[in-house]
């Protein structure tokens, strides 16, 4: 069974930060296993090298064997309980502090027939949420993944940016794309 990772874009625009995260997701799951939904027609080309792009929303697709990743879900994703799912749906939502809890009202409640799962209660960026779900789906237990909450990225000798999210650790380093670090160095005010 082919497993599809689906990002329902829920930001008012396709911000550069979104494109960086979506490209990073493509590197995790592979272009042929990734869909972007709810994409403005003008932006389709910008994402087509990273996955399959739909202007249609996932809310209108009525998919079977679907799981919405929602921090407010009651059930933790495990290698066993992830097996029955074919479609993993994520909110294409940028992180915010404190979390605005947009996933349930803007995504989950519209997806009929879907179950929900969490990967803990802390907030991951969408690309890191995909990374964790991909790891669990491939057999790793949530409790065997190491995390760091809140990281600080040095911008220059004086300034740094605090990212108040949960990061999976890979080889003792928090997982963050090089491209995002470059972007933050150029745009420390996220402009």
Ligand X SMILES: C[S@@+](CC[C@H](N)C(=O)[O-])C[C@H]1O[C@@H](n2cnc3c(N)ncnc32)[C@H](O)[C@@H]1O
Under rule CB under 6 A, residue 29 binds ligand X: no
Give 116's Cβ-side CA count (13 Å radius). Answer: 17
User: What sign does the CA torsion over 74, 172, 130, 136 have?
Assistant: negative
Under rule CB under 6 A, residue 58 binds ligand X: no
Under rule CB under 6 A, residue 90 binds ligand X: yes
Measured from the CB of residue 94, what is the shortest distance to ligand X in angstroms? 6
**Peptide bond between residue 98 and the one before it cis (omega within 30 degrees of 0):** yes
Residue 144 is encoded by which pair of tokens? 């065997």
User: Using the rule CB under 6 A, which residue among 26, 33, 37, 118 binds ligand X?
Assistant: 118
User: Using the rule CB under 6 A, which residue among 16, 79, 120, 188 binds ligand X?
Assistant: 120
Under rule CB under 6 A, residue 11 binds ligand X: no
Q: How far apart are CA 152 and CA 7, in angstroms?
A: 27
State the residue number with the nearest CB to ligand X: 91
Residues in contact with ligand X, shown as a per-residue x/- string from 123 to 162 under the rule CB under 6 A: xxxx--x---------------------------------
Length of the chain measured in residues: 191
Category of 110 on φ-ψ map: left (φ > 0), alpha (ψ -120 to 50) or beta: alpha
Give how far the C-alpha of residue 11 lies from the chain's centroid of Cα atoms, to the nearest Å: 13
Measured from the CB atom, is 99 or 188 closer to ligand X? 99
Measured from the CB atom, is 6 or 53 closer to ligand X? 6
Which residues would be at the binding site for ligand X (CB under 6 A)? 69-71, 90-91, 93, 95-96, 99-103, 118-126, 129
């Amino acid at each position: 069974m082919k497993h599809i990772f689906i990002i329902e874009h829920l930001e008012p625009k396709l911000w550069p930060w979104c494109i960086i995260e979506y490209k990073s997701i493509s590197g995790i799951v592979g272009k042929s296993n990734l869909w972007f939904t709810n994409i403005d027609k003008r932006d389709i080309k910008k994402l087509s090298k990273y996955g399959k792009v739909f202007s249609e929303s996932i809310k209108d697709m009525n998919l079977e064997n679907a799981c919405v990743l929602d921090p407010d879900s009651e059930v933790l994703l495990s290698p066993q309980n992830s097996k029955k799912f074919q479609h993993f749906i994520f909110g294409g939502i940028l992180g915010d502090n404190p979390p605005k809890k947009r996933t349930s009202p803007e995504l989950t409640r519209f997806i009929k027939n879907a179950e929900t799962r969490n990967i803990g209660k802390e907030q991951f960026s969408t690309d890191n949420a995909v990374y964790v779900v991909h790891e669990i789906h491939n057999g790793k237990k949530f409790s065997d993944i190491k995390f760091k909450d809140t990281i600080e990225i040095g911008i220059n000798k004086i300034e740094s940016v605090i990212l108040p999210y949960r990061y999976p650790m890979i080889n003792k380093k928090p997982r963050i794309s090089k491209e995002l670090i470059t972007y933050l160095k150029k745009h420390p005010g996220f402009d």
